[in-house]
Amino acid sequence: MTAVLCRHFGLAHIEIAEDIASDTFLKASEHWAINGVPDNPTAWLYTVARNKIKDYFKHKSVFENKIKSAAKPLEIELEKEFEINHQIIADSQLAMIFAVCNPANPIEAQISLALQILCGFSVEEIANAFLTNRETIKKRLQRARTKLRNDKFQIDYLTAADIKTRLETVLKTLYLLFNEGYFSTTNNQLIRKELCSEAVRLTLVLTENPLTNTPQVNALLALMCFQSSRLEARTGVNGEAILFDKQDKSLWDRSLIDRGNYYLVEACNGGEISTYHLEAGIAYWHTTFTDNNKWEHILQLYNKLILVEYSPVTALNRAFAFAKVYGNEKAIKEVEKLNLSESNYYHELLGYLYSSIDIPTSIQHYTRAIDLTKSKVEQETLQQEINRLLQISLPPFK
């Protein structure tokens, strides 16, 4: 809704569009609770939003005083047909994300702004995505929004060169959106399927546009499909996390795996190999039902990925694959070399690796991981594992 309003009325008033979108849904929650959900909820919402923005432009003197010279053109714009359909919404969101990811702002600011405006991320969620603190993100967002207002950005037609310049940032935004859904660090749910679905939908929109249907885009969509196929198997009935080894493969979505295979093939129609290609390849091997050399292939891909784009998470994931190939003892040495003692994932992995070798040390690492993670679901899952190990280590009752 924010994207559609901004596209129709101008990006310079992005905060107005956000406020009106919020007010519209507030009115819906009040009206629908009494009168029931209308036959066409989408049309109802956009009609209310259009009326609200017309009232704003007509009656708010602050708006009239600040851009008085532009009042007449805006009145004409307001009288234009405000048609809404699936294609217009999709096109508006695509145009909006490219408009926000403008090189006038630093890349980190572009991504932060897109995550907040288009994806609804909180400051804390953005901070976690960038592994930084809230104050840094707040300042980054403030500067980026000020830049948009001062430059009076509009959601205009973008040339092929514009799209090519901005596509990498757009893809990074969608990647972070999916990741927050796939493994949420700021919510009481381990998985937020609505974020995963939104990321898939927006990436799919990119594949439907000739200018953005690139190998990188298809590789990212393949990655999302493979990962999404295992969502139902990653949590138990009480929301607890289920490790890969213990997942019920019958719950994997075969249709999503097939879609992932399709987009991975499409991603190979070119000479480039991006990080998304490598990650999609890793995700592909995770979804294969055979164990024949699976982990050797995964480890080889991680070895390439870590050379192209190092990150602590990639290093820890590589260590897990290393354990599958060479055993836990050798993997422990690989993990401890990383010295990521302030990372809960680091201690979780060591807890897992030590669980079959040294239970007291395993419990120490799991306990430290509980202290470091913000996720209540993750804390409960780790505590369950500690309880299981304690039962194993207790002497038999006589």
Mention the CATH class of domain 309-398. mainly alpha
Q: Which residue has the tokens 């405000």?
A: 82
Whether 101 and 115 have beta carbons less than 8 Å apart is answered as: no
The SS3 call for residue 241 is: strand
Sign of the CA dihedral running 93, 94, 95, 100: positive
Query: Kind and range of the H or E element at 125?
Result: helix 123-130
pLDDT at 64: 56
Whether 108 and 100 have beta carbons less than 8 Å apart is answered as: no
The SS3 call for residue 235 is: strand
Domain with CATH 1.25.40.10 in the chain: 309-398
Angle value at C-alpha 171, between 168 and 142, nearest 5 degrees: 85
pLDDT at 68: 54
Measured between alpha carbons, how far is residue 20 from residues 5, 25, 62 in Å?
Answer: 9, 9, 16
Beta bridge partners of residue 241, listed in sequence order: 235
Measured between alpha carbons, how far is residue 193 from residues 4, 190, 238, 282 in Å?
Answer: 24, 10, 16, 21
What gap in Å lies between CA 259 and CA 272, rounded to an integer?
Answer: 21
Q: For the chain, state the CA radius of gyration.
A: 24
CB atoms near residue 196 (< 10 Å): 20
Instruction: Enumerate residue ranges in the chain where pLDDT < 70.
Output: 10-13, 60-83, 152-157, 185-189, 393-398
Whether 353 and 335 have beta carbons less than 8 Å apart is answered as: yes
Tell me the two tokens of residue 81.
Answer: 């047909």
What gap in Å lies between CA 118 and CA 86, rounded to an integer?
Answer: 17
Measured between alpha carbons, how far is residue 285 from residues 147, 289, 349 in Å?
Answer: 44, 9, 20
The SS3 call for residue 338 is: helix
Q: Is 54 exposed, middle or buried (0-12, 13-18, 19+ CB in 10 A)?
A: middle
Residue 393, CB-side half-sphere exposure with 13 Å CA sphere: 15
For residue 241, report the phi and psi dihedrals to the nearest 5 degrees. Answer: -75, 140
Whether 232 and 187 have beta carbons less than 8 Å apart is answered as: no
pLDDT at 11: 55
Tell me the two tokens of residue 364.
Answer: 């120490």
For residue 288, report the phi and psi dihedrals to the nearest 5 degrees. Answer: -75, 145
pLDDT at 71: 47
Angle value at C-alpha 194, between 190 and 195, nearest 5 degrees: 75
Beta bridge partners of residue 235, listed in sequence order: 241
Whether 338 and 310 have beta carbons less than 8 Å apart is answered as: no
What gap in Å lies between CA 108 and CA 102, rounded to an integer?
Answer: 11
The single-letter DSSP state of residue 231 is G
What is the pTM assigned to this prediction? 0.80
The SS3 call for residue 122 is: coil
